[in-house]
A and B are shown apart, each in its own frame.
Chain A
Amino acid sequence: MVSISTELSLVENGYSFFPSGISFFSYRYLFADAEKLIRAYGITIAVCVVGGALNVLMTTLYAYPISRSSFKYRNFFSFYIFFTMLFSGGLVPTYIMYASYFKLINNPIMLAVPGLLSAFNVLIVRTFYRLNISDSILESAKMDGAGEGMIFFRIVLPLSTPAVATIGLFSVLMYWNDWYSCLLYINEAKYYNLQYAMYQALRTIEYLTSSSASMNMANLSGELLKVPAESLRMAMAIIGIGPIVFAYPFFQRYFIKGLTLGAVKE
């Protein structure tokens, strides 16, 4: 509620969960450059949709072979992916590779690429497959002459909607909350995603209202300086999480589904 408090009431009442003295200035400030904000929303949504879909596809594909006890190299490939969870070369080598060798700096696909596959998700899905997709189903499908691809898309995926929904949710959330790859790889404001655009707006306000900025205040108007940093922070939290909260029930459908089945028989 802090996001709609006026700054003065913030000071007088301390932080309060209930607004006292309503002002929507923070929102007006953030929405002032509506074009920029809509653009940032667009970029974030696009990254969530495309990145999320690719992430789910790659994760479920990779997890399947390593979940099958009949697959000889399952341990090697499990270890191969798990290892990346523990060891990483760090930011600098990763940056150098993408910047110097792939020349992908300031390319919006870099908002999606680094997060395309997570070892954690793969291993969760693998466990899910192991538990819930019995060998007998697969064997009978094979008897009927279905190829592995067919089995995967026609049997495995449909049977694992709760797992797919779960990692879909996780990867969309990850993309939604990500501002760091934007900081690292994107140079132009037109490719900023939502979280980074807001992060930047906030840091700018913090700077402008800090004393170090006052070396050259002449060209700044008073209005801009009245933005309350605290309520701005809260307003950004609301704008930032609003849409994803609405998207959440969409995913929730899938993992509450089992619950309805359970509820029928009683």
Chain B
Amino acid sequence: MKKMMKSTKWIALILVIAMQTLSGCAASSSPAPSESSGGAAAETSAAETPASALTPYELNCYFLAPQVKDMQMVQDKLSELLTDRINATVKLNYFWFDSYTEKQRMVIASGESVDIMFVQGFDFNTYVPQKAFLPLDDLLANYGKNVTDNINPLYLLAGTYNDEIYAIPTSKDMFGVGGVVINKELADKYSFDFSNVKEPADFEPMLQTIKENEPGIVPLLSTKGDHTTYFTNNLLAMVSWGISYRKTDASAKLEISAEFPESIEMMKLAEDWYKKGYVNNDVATLQDGMPQKKAQKAFMWAEQLKPGKAEELSAQLGYELIQAYAHTGPYYTSSMDLTNSMLAINRTSGDPERAMMLIDLLFHDKEVKNLLDWGIEGVHYKKVGENQIDYADGVTAETSGYTGLGQWAMGGSQFLDYLWVNESLDKWEKMQAFNDSCLPTPLIGFAYSQDNVKSEAAAVSSIVSTQMEAMASGIVSYDEYWPTVKKQLEDAGVAKVLEDAQQQVDAFVASRK
């Protein structure tokens, strides 16, 4: 009987919880964006506010980073630094590629109080219209002076939705160029000259030579037709799955990606190359080309390039490589390039002002930024020059408790990062020059919201994500295959998506004038 009593209590408790699930969530999920806790600092810049004037606060941060052994140690050290600077401590949450997307969705949906969160690309387009993040303009004006001073304005534009900034991108390389990486030994053997390559078709004579003279070597190694994708990306930029505009087109006329003459030409080239045996015969199913690359079984393969890419890959693969862009310039940077690493402040943040102060620090405080990137000096790395580091004594890549992070994902300005002994000291100057060489596409600052055509966009996405690879790989004939895919897309309502997107684009372009 006693047990029964206990269980009735249980049931009562459960019913209460159930009721809360039904009714209470709305109330508990929308804490008013705090104006109270950070009130002391209102209107003045963070830099001028003495840390002691702020109430202590713990910033809950989510980063795209691996679960490293010494995260706790870095968290403690960072809290120490931040207490000194903005009277805050941090709780770091690291999730890597295996779980970040899932965790992010769950954490946002659960209404947990989060202050800073890594977000990228299309996730931004999903979460911002669904009100997951706070608009940052005022916070940026009041507490983010160092951000605005140290970032290319295009970046801030890219983090914009409906004229309000919702995320602060990481300042790093602003674009990439689709091209190929080539086995230097083979290129030298046949004295190929890549300086004359103006478009992808110019690779063909070389592929032919390799095919004829080097049995056992794949002339162009491609995984699921990635060469077509990389090359086409030089010319077109995507606004939604399957819908693009020409990067040079100021009025940004949208069309189905696969119907631009540029992309038709590329897919037909892929088809031709596949037929001639220039591309690996398992191109449609190959998921990971790394083994072939390591075994030097490939003459060339496509990559997203920037200066020095071939050297990085050489170091990784253990033989000499050179690189060649698939198109001649000018090169463009698009929203996709600029938004692949950003930090947002969640609507549930208990102190958005303080969160912005931390983001601000990541743009000018070398100590804070490098602590987050490389760990603790003397424990994980040691300084060998003013801006140069190496592993601390007795530590290697395998034994280090804070290694393998993607520094590009840690927010702030990558130009503050220390360089490693094997990197050239002018890396950041070079990157700056590279960044200066690009032009903006017309739609930076535009994020397409699918809200009006969700169902159509979902159905289109299902077709695009399954049907394009066969054509990009070249295993089917574009002329025969595309009409069937097009029919599917039309059935799925691609015209409606196109129209809706064009409307939003036109409004955006008009507002920019």
A218 touches B20 (CB 8 A): no
Enumerate A98-133 residues with CB–CB distance to B below 8 Å: 99-101
A217 to B316: give the CA distance in the assembly, Å: 8
Q: Counting CB contacts under 8 A, is A187 at the interface?
A: yes
When distances are taken between beta carbons in the complex, the residues of chain A under 8 Å from B406 are 213, 215-216
When distances are taken between beta carbons in the complex, the residues of chain A under 8 Å from B398 are 32, 221, 223-224
A33 to B20: give the CA distance in the assembly, Å: 44
When distances are taken between beta carbons in the complex, the residues of chain A under 8 Å from B28 are 100
Enumerate B357-410 residues with CB–CB distance to A below 8 Å: 374, 396-398, 403-404, 406-408
A230 touches B291 (CB 8 A): yes
Q: Counting CB contacts under 8 A, is B309 at the interface?
A: yes
A216 touches B407 (CB 8 A): yes
Q: Mark B217-249, 1 if CB is under 8 A from A, else 0.
A: 000000000000000000000000000000000
Smallest Cβ-Cβ distance to B407: which chain A residue: A216
Set A11, A100, A216, A230: member contacting B111, Cβ < 8 A: A100
A21 to B438: give the CA distance in the assembly, Å: 48
A99 touches B112 (CB 8 A): yes
Q: Counting CB contacts under 8 A, is A84 at the interface?
A: no
A223 to B396: give the CA distance in the assembly, Å: 11
When distances are taken between beta carbons in the complex, the residues of chain B under 8 Å from A174 are none
B403 touches A219 (CB 8 A): yes
- Contact A91 B106, CB 8 Å, known A203-B98, A221-B397: yes
When distances are taken between beta carbons in the complex, the residues of chain A under 8 Å from B53 are none
A92 touches B109 (CB 8 A): yes
When distances are taken between beta carbons in the complex, the residues of chain B under 8 Å from A65 are none
A10 touches B98 (CB 8 A): no
A53 to B28: give the CA distance in the assembly, Å: 37
Set B25, B105, B294: member contacting A7, Cβ < 8 A: B294
Q: Counting CB contacts under 8 A, is B304 at the interface?
A: yes
A53 to chain B, nearest CB (A): 20
- Contact A200 B17, CB 8 Å, known A214-B316, A219-B403, A223-B398: no
B52 to chain A, nearest CB (A): 32
Smallest Cβ-Cβ distance to B98: which chain A residue: A203
- Contact A220 B404, CB 8 Å, known A92-B109, A99-B110, A228-B291: yes
Q: Mark B293-310, 1 if CB is under 8 A from A, else 0.
A: 011010000011000010
Q: Counting CB contacts under 8 A, is A183 at the interface?
A: yes
Q: Which of A165-173, A204-212, A240-248, A254-262 contacts B (4 or more CB under 8 A)?
A: A204-212
A211 to B292: give the CA distance in the assembly, Å: 14
Set A101, A207, A224, A229: member contacting B20, Cβ < 8 A: A101
Smallest Cβ-Cβ distance to A97: which chain B residue: B21
A221 to B398: give the CA distance in the assembly, Å: 8
B67 touches A188 (CB 8 A): yes
Smallest Cβ-Cβ distance to B419: which chain A residue: A218
Q: Counting CB contacts under 8 A, is B288 at the interface?
A: yes
A99 touches B17 (CB 8 A): no
B17 touches A101 (CB 8 A): yes
Q: Counting CB contacts under 8 A, is B478 at the interface?
A: no
Q: How many residues of B contact A (CB 8 A)?
A: 52
Chain B contact residues: helix, strand, loop or mixed: mixed
Smallest Cβ-Cβ distance to A200: which chain B residue: B98
A10 to B66: give the CA distance in the assembly, Å: 29
A12 touches B17 (CB 8 A): no
When distances are taken between beta carbons in the complex, the residues of chain B under 8 Å from A220 are 316, 397, 403-404
When distances are taken between beta carbons in the complex, the residues of chain A under 8 Å from B491 are none
When distances are taken between beta carbons in the complex, the residues of chain B under 8 Å from A200 are 67, 96, 98-99
Set B66, B93, B112, B374: member contacting A204, Cβ < 8 A: B66
Set A92, A207, A221: member contacting B97, Cβ < 8 A: A207
B295 touches A12 (CB 8 A): yes
Q: Counting CB contacts under 8 A, is A31 at the interface?
A: no
A5 to B291: give the CA distance in the assembly, Å: 12
When distances are taken between beta carbons in the complex, the residues of chain B under 8 Å from A214 are 309, 312-313, 316
Q: Counting CB contacts under 8 A, is B212 at the interface?
A: no
A244 to B113: give the CA distance in the assembly, Å: 40
With most chain B CB atoms within 10 A of its CB, the pick from A32, A96, A210, A216 is A216
B409 to chain A, nearest CB (A): 9
Q: Counting CB contacts under 8 A, is B507 at the interface?
A: no
Q: Counting CB contacts under 8 A, is B420 at the interface?
A: yes
A105 to B65: give the CA distance in the assembly, Å: 19
A11 touches B112 (CB 8 A): no
A10 to B404: give the CA distance in the assembly, Å: 27
A125 to chain B, nearest CB (A): 23
When distances are taken between beta carbons in the complex, the residues of chain A under 8 Å from B95 are 187
Q: Counting CB contacts under 8 A, is B451 at the interface?
A: no
Q: Mark B417-430, 1 if CB is under 8 A from A, else 0.
A: 00110110000000
B98 touches A199 (CB 8 A): yes
A7 to B317: give the CA distance in the assembly, Å: 13
With most chain A CB atoms within 10 A of its CB, the pick from B109, B112, B294, B316 is B316
Give 24 A-B contacts (CB < 8 Å), ordered by A residue.
Answer: A7-B291, A11-B295, A11-B297, A95-B110, A99-B106, A99-B112, A100-B110, A101-B17, A101-B20, A183-B99, A183-B102, A187-B93, A187-B95, A204-B97, A206-B288, A213-B406, A214-B312, A215-B406, A215-B407, A218-B419, A218-B420, A219-B374, A220-B397, A220-B403
Interface residues of B (CB under 8 A from A): 17, 20-21, 25, 28, 66-67, 69, 93, 95-99, 102-103, 105-106, 109-112, 172-173, 288, 290-292, 294-295, 297, 303-304, 309, 312-313, 315-316, 318, 374, 396-398, 403-404, 406-408, 419-420, 422-423
